[in-house]
Structure 1
């Protein structure tokens, strides 16, 4: 779980527990005060009743005071029990659901309280100095108003608790976004930086010192990475330029030698192999140079509207020169009648390089088995599907195949540098297209190149 969500849950959960405890304490204290007050009212009422019993001549006065001053108690009843001084022959009311312990507690302590099934019971023992019998008054009543009060209190506290819990959740989310929002932006920005945009930097717009310090640290790290990568690019570029001239000379000399020797000469096969390997090596050198060019500046060369099937035809000729044993099958069955749907706005050299890299990968990783290429035209998109039946790509490594210099774990026996697919993807994206790869290890790979037709690009340029 992300730290942001963990903090939200911890803060909200902790505050929910604290608020729940406060609500329980408030309810318990309020309910306790209410119950205590009701018992006190019952005791006052029982006291007056006891005085009226003890002083019969003033009974009416006591009852008048009780009715005019004291709170009226719902369903109030009083039971008078005369208690002999020796506490013998005591008879308690059988209609009351009270245990004998309640009566003896009242006699011993002077009062006793009990609550059962919504009914309050109060026992009040009054010592009578003028008689041999003392008075035990048992008072019963219901607190309907108190029950309603507790019900309202429960509802109020529950609603307040839920509202406060919602407010705390929203508040914690708000402040977590304020706190972690810059962190998320930094993570997204850093994840978007790759070999093709190493010159991007984090924007230092946050007032928090820690966030600004983190951005500065990451920018300094990116500066060091860019410097190291630039040095690597310069080295590859210089080396590639140094190799192009001798490779061109070797290819030219081999071609002259092939033209000069007689048919059937035993050196002819060797010269043909020299020619093929030289062409492959030149292609690798050109790929390295283009990778340096694209990743270094990202600028486009001269573009023009061209037919994709013609670009693909040139790619096939280039691939054929590299190795005459390559068996490339072309399917033009889905070509549209309207040739405008085949037009793309492209740099022919770069687009040819991307397509040839993908096709050559098909041959390389399938042991020179057949590679099928199909051109598929749609209303606003034209697709090139390249299918091979080679070693495939491990499922857990599919997301890494477009990372520069990455090679799958099952390619140890094959030559390569891990730059063909990353370069192809970057070139296709420069053409506002995309690449999708579907592969099963041991069964082969299908690469789908998608490019927008030129008329859509032209329309977008006019609207802009």
Structure 2
């Protein structure tokens, strides 16, 4: 069953429940009102009968004539008078029914009392007269009222069925109109394949409703899928591009090595060359895998991190990799603002990003000192990474962060063109600005400007 048909049936059931309760309540209230009116009419006739039979000697001729006229209008109703001993002293009927003493006593106590026996309704009144105390009971069967109730029941039943049919048809039309945008949305979704993941669903209208929210959520899903697919495609493309050269070198070395028997020293030289190429391939694969993960997911877990502790750990690890490197750390600018040293970051990723910048500075410094300074800039934390290397040309400042870009200034310096690109992606995720300033007459300074995390905490 389609949602449209299910909505129509469920709505029809609700309409049936509402109409049923409304019509049933109307019928019950009308019946009670009708019965109450009939009892009051019987009571009025009882009073008229009492006046007619008991007040003849006390009323003038004109008033008595009016009472007599009303009495003669009573039709098809039983009228009985009972004395204080519960004896019937007058019966205006030939019906075979009796009223027990308990009911008569109840009438005397309440003065007016309504009751029924089977389908017959009774109204009794207690009437005091100079001739004695009497109970007057008038009874009848409300045939007219029953006819009215039967007609009302018929009309309500017909209107109930008509309302259900009309409600079902109108609900079908409403459901069709309501689900029409969903049908268009489904048709649009079916046109999106792996070849056009860049396509997005069109949002109709400016009103913020459930369909708009669904469309926006699906567009976000498409965006994540597109990033994931592009990340995989980029990984395959970059991997195939970058691994060709070291693999070709390894294959060439193996072919030359296997072409004839060689001495142990020659084998050792070949194995060292193969080891270097394998390390190069491993570095490329690790960098590409990390890039692939960053591109597929822009959500990273940030935690409070002490940037000075991170830098000390980084320098310790770097000194193991580069034993002869000269590195300096300067924290003098932070003595009066130690609270800025705590930043929100993913510690592992931020260490990779800064580590790549430090590695790059060391490679191009030719055993010259590399300095790391923490300082202030417009009330925010800034990290400066300064080297004394060969420097960066002005025309290379923009493409230096491109994937696989290698400086042509000194091709002999090893690298695979992933480190700076990876650092830029990580820094962007942390909203850390990076700026490069040539340090004439030689060297380069990389400035990292951290956002004011403490100001955001104060605002929120």
TM-score tier, shorter chain, comes to 0.3 to 0.5
TM-score by length of 2: 0.42
Task: Point out the structure with max Rg over C-alpha.
Answer: 2
TM-score by length of 1: 0.42
